[in-house]
């Protein structure tokens, strides 16, 4: 009876795990599909930059490899039937490298590494925006306000979503562990039995007792 009860209890847990996996895959591929469609029909680079960073980091929330695939999809605009956005050949290597660095740091830990991931994404972009024209006079695009605004805004929104998700999952796991530990800690009083050893009868007591 105990084995059947444990098996029936484990079956819903497996079903829930399978459903979560299916939903994660569906969400990740849906976001990558939307990103691929946007890259295949490119428009102005500010909107495309915001969509690329935001959708890549949101897809990463459904699984690590979705994020790296999203970075690669940034190059899809180069082979699209419509002309690539102006300045996209500057944006892809610069922002793509910053995205890869962000993902590597983000995957190395929990919510406490998110500020470092944000910094490793933002600092190179800020540096190029500030000093890029000194290295190359033609590198003016990173200095435009829309470049930093859209890239950093998309990054901040996506990492905010990641922080909320990770904190929520941590709270739910902690509550689940407490619920699982509660039945083991609360032992019913009726289940506790006490056994006393039989009191030995002294030798000769029956013989000495008057009939």
CATH number for 137: 1.10.1760
Whether 4 is in a domain gets the answer no
Whether 19 is in a domain gets the answer no
Domain holding 62, by residue range, is 24-180
CA pair distance 177, 171, nearest whole angstrom:
10
Whether 163 is in a domain gets the answer yes
Whether 14 is in a domain gets the answer no
Burial class of residue 101 (count of CB atoms within 10 Å of its CB; 0-12, 13-18, 19+): middle
3-class DSSP string for the chain: CHHHHHHHHHHHHHHHHHHHHHHHHHHHHHHHHHHHHHHHCCCCHHHHHHHHHHHHHHHHCCCHHHHHHHHHHHHHHHCCCCCCCCCHHHHHHHHHHHHHHHHHHHCCCCHHHHHHHHHHHHHHHHHHHHHHHHHCCCCCHHHCHHHHHHHHHHHHHHHHHHHHHHHHHHHHHHHHHHHHHHHHHCCCHHHCCCCCCCCCCCCCHHHHCCC
* pTM reported for the whole predicted model: 0.79
Query: Per-residue pLDDT for 76 more than 70?
Result: yes
**How far is C-alpha 117 from the chain's CA centre?**
13
Whether 192 is in a domain gets the answer no
Instruction: Render pLDDT for 162-204 as a digit per residue (tens, 0 to 9).
Output: 999 999 988 988 888 888 777 655 555 455 454 545 555 555 4
Please state the domain count of the chain. 1
CA pair distance 63, 54, nearest whole angstrom:
15
Instruction: Render pLDDT for 30-69 as a digit per residue (tens, 0 to 9).
Output: 999 999 999 999 889 999 999 999 999 999 999 879 999 9
Query: Per-residue pLDDT for 4 more than 50?
Result: no
Evaluate whether 48 touches 13 at the Cβ level (below 8 Å). Answer: no
CA pair distance 104, 109, nearest whole angstrom:
10
Whether 166 is in a domain gets the answer yes
Instruction: Render pLDDT for 140-157 as a digit per residue (tens, 0 to 9).
Output: 898 999 999 999 999 999
Whether 208 is in a domain gets the answer no
């Amino acid at each position: 009876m105990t084995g059947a009860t444990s098996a029936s209890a484990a079956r819903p847990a497996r079903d829930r795990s399978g459903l979560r996996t299916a939903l994660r895959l569906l969400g990740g591929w849906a976001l990558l599909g939307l990103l691929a469609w946007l890259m295949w029909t490119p428009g102005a680079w500010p909107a495309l930059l915001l969509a690329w960073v935001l959708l890549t980091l949101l897809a990463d929330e459904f699984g690590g490899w979705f994020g790296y695939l999203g970075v690669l999809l940034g190059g899809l605009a180069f082979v699209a039937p419509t002309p690539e956005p102006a300045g996209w050949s500057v944006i892809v290597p610069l922002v793509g490298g910053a995205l890869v660095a962000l993902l590597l740091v983000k995957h190395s830990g929990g919510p406490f590494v998110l500020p470092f991931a944000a910094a490793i994404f933002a600092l190179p972009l800020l540096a190029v925006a500030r000093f890029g024209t000194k290295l190359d006079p033609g590198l003016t695009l990173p200095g435009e306000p829309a470049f930093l605004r859209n890239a950093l805004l998309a990054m901040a929104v996506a990492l905010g979503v990641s922080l909320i998700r990770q904190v929520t999952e941590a709270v739910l796991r902690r509550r689940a562990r407490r619920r699982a530990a509660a039945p083991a800690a609360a032992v019913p009083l009726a289940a506790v039995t006490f056994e006393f050893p039989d009191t030995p009868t002294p030798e000769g007591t029956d013989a000495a007792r008057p009939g």
